[in-house]
Amino acid sequence: MTKMLFSLFVVVSLSISVWAQDAGQTSAKAKKPAVAVTPKSDAEVQTCLNDKFKVSTSVKNGSASVSGGAATLTGEAASGGGKGGATRSAKACGAKSVVNNIVVPPKPKVAKPADAAKKP
């Protein structure tokens, strides 16, 4: 019984020491200095966005205009998620701010048939 407890103690101790070393290495890797990113020109941001809209399946007739780092988006999105994705894409392309004028058309309501099955 004593050998088993001692073996368990050794295994736990080694596991903790290995975990502590890995945690120290991970935090050292996370402390990388921030890389300075040069701001993109309005033309570069606009080209990036329009290229993304060309291949987009969730935004129809999408277009972007950029002035002073502010991107204005227009078009029609299939859902609210597509509209939000366009905003995220604008930020990823380098826009400082985004005015999202993309519209999401309402879903057509399906008319429910009258309760013909219920007969008196």
Residue 49 lies in a domain: yes
| pTM for the whole structure | 0.60
Tell the residue number behind the tokens 């930020």, with chain if given: 91
Residue 30 lies in a domain: no
How many domains, the chain?
1
Give the domain extent around 93: 42-100
Residue 56 lies in a domain: yes
pLDDT (tens digit per residue) in 34-84: 555 566 899 999 999 999 999 989 999 999 999 999 999 999 998 999 999
Residue 28 lies in a domain: no
Residue 23 lies in a domain: no
State how far the alpha carbon of 6 is from the alpha carbons of 2, 12, 54, in Å. 6, 10, 66
Residue 55 lies in a domain: yes
Rg (CA), the chain: 28
Residue 71 lies in a domain: yes
